[in-house]
Amino acid sequence: MFADPLDDTEVVLFVFDSPDGYSFWNKNVDFPLSLAFLDKNMEIVDLGDMQKQSTKSLSPKSNSVVYVVEAKLNFFENNGIKKGDQFEIKNKKLIVKKQ
């Protein structure tokens, strides 16, 4: 992907057409990332980390994933965001609603 590193509060949102167990890898990315896998209600069903330049696939334990939020490594942990928390899109911003 050859992407630029994310800022501390910047995330990337992936949206898929149907639920599945989408996997990601970090090949050609020079920085580590954390991922939150969300279901159709934007609830976190799984979390995981990827190291820089890794070709190892990261897949959720659930096949109900419709959204994936990608952030700097440890973003979710550092902000107290965990499995079961829910996101919403409000005024073009991704907001987390903690459980």
The pLDDT tens digits along the chain (99 residues) read 567 888 988 999 999 999 999 999 999 899 999 999 999 999 999 999 999 999 999 999 999 999 999 999 999 999 999 999 999 999 999 999 987
Cβ neighbours around 34 below 10 Å, total:
21
Residue 87 counted as domain residue: yes
What total of structural domains would you count in the chain? 1
Domain that holds residue 80: 12-97
Residue 59 counted as domain residue: yes
Do the Cβ atoms of 86 and 97 come closer than 8 Å? yes
Cα dihedral: 23, 24, 27, 31 (round 10): -150
Residue 82 counted as domain residue: yes
Residue 6 counted as domain residue: no
| Chain centre distance of CA 68 | 4
* DSSP bridge partners of 72: 33
**CATH code of the domain in which 93 resides:** 2.60.120.1140
Do the Cβ atoms of 30 and 56 come closer than 8 Å? no
Distance (Å, rounded) from C-alpha 65 to C-alpha 43? 9
